[in-house]
Amino acid sequence: MLDILNKINAFLWGAPSLILLFGTGIFLTIILKGLQFKKLGYAFKLAFTKDKEDADAEGDVSNFKALMTSLAGMIGNGNIAGVATGITLGGPGAIFWMWIAGLLGMATKYAEALLAQVYRVKNEKGEYSSGPMYYIERGLGKNWKPLGAAFAIFAAIAALGTGNGVQSNTIADVMSNSFHVPGWITGILLVILTGLIIFGGIKRISNVAGFFVPIMAILYIGGSLIIIFLNIDQIIPAFGLIFEHAFTPVSAAGGFVGVTVSQAIQHGVSKGIFSNEAGLGTVALIAGNAKTSHPVKQGLVAMTGTFIVTIIVCTMTGLVLIFTGFWDPSGGLLSGVTHDASLDGGALTSAAFASTLGVVGEYIVSLSVIFFGFSTIFGWYVYGSKCFEYLFGLKYISIYGVLYLAATYLGAVLDLKLMWAVADMTNALMIIPNLIGILLLYKVIKRETENFFANPIEKRQRAA
């Protein structure tokens, strides 16, 4: 079964899906005239300051809390383990292609959040519900409902795996290795804490995210900046390696097997997408809850999340691995320090931090993995529950909550190779209906954007 799923995933995450994701980002960048570059400063202003126009807008949470909830789902162990895997398999040049995936993904994230606002609905509790299934059904018509339902099914399953079970499994490993806490105890603690948060509704989840996300970002980025500062003389050579090997192969040396340009592109783009979730449609599942006076505003706020995750957090991880030489068992091109070739993923990043900061560095990564993993668990609950609500109605949502908590515990105590494979498959399958919806609704995205920037607030009219 595992072999079959791995073969399916190799196809789903192969060239066709990467071309679809990459192509959608390029298409949206063109029709939006490079909005993610021209309006980035304004987007950050909207995300981190209060806008008077939004004070009386309809919604459940502020732009900031919607962004933090989205980041809670995005900033995860992919930013630690995923980047380490990407750079060891794709060389320093993979970071450049992560940047490209992130910059193009910003346009996709913008489109997802904008459509979420345009086509959101109110549920029986008076809270907003949104997501690709709503903009597919309401934007394209009832005949497209099966496509929307397909997205909801894939996302609800993916949340149990990618956003929950595999995260609790990673947390349990760290708790066992760093703090000698048995997996079953970690599982019970995670179930209790997760239950207290998710059964409090979207407002409690967003409040916790608003508290957790800044702390974990400061912890991890702070540790990364210390290492970067201690290696300040290596910044230019490090960026030189990144740009050089984005377009030229890395030769085999020592324990490093060598990397082609195509491998750098493949691993950079795929890990960039894994880190920022652009194209998966997850941001649309929370963006509709934001209080905003125009859909374009939430689109702009949402795209800052991709910038933060890929351009900032992933770059920090990549630079630490290059500075310390831990991307290459032979010591890398900037360092003569060798390391255990069996290390990979999060363990490799942890060792890189520890090589400069000692045990403090190891604990920074360990605590980051715990915080990142836990925030991802409750962030993805929002995604999964919204999809379950769409499929079965709000009155059955507690059933999903119980399933989610069960997956949390099982993830902490079981071997999850099969769950990883299923989660990877459903993640890939989420992309297809979502991007079909976005591409078919591109005129709405374009009109809403042009309307917002062409007219003052009193003259803006909804294009949809």
Answer with the residue of higher pLDDT: 156 or 379: 156
pLDDT score, position 76: 65
- pLDDT band at 171, cuts 50/70/90? confident
Q: What is the pLDDT confidence band of residue 400, given thresholds at 50, 70 and 90?
A: very high
Whether residue 114 is predicted with pLDDT greater than 60 in this model: the reply is yes
- SS3 label, residue 244: helix
Please tell me the number of Cα atoms within 13 Å of 265 on its side-chain side: 11
The pTM is what? Answer: 0.87
**pLDDT tens digits, residue range 56-96?**
677 777 777 778 777 776 776 667 777 877 787 788 888 99
458 has pLDDT over 60: no
Return the closest-CA partner of residue 174 out of 416, 342, 341, 362. Answer: 362
User: 121 has which bridge partners?
Assistant: 129
Between CA 366 and CA 362 the distance in angstroms is: 6
Local structure of residue 256 (DSSP, 8 states): B
Give the pLDDT mean for 106-127: 93
Q: Is the dihedral of CA 33, 37, 41, 45 positive or negative?
A: positive
What does the block give as tokens for 260?
A: 């082609």
Distance CA 176, CA 179 (A): 6
Topology adopted by domain 2-454: Amino acid/polyamine transporter I (1.20.1740)
Would you state the structure tokens that stand for residue 98, as one six-digit string? Answer: 């992560």
pLDDT reported for residue 349: 79
If one compares 286 and 424, the residue with the highest pLDDT of the two is 286
pLDDT average, residue stretch 339-364:
75
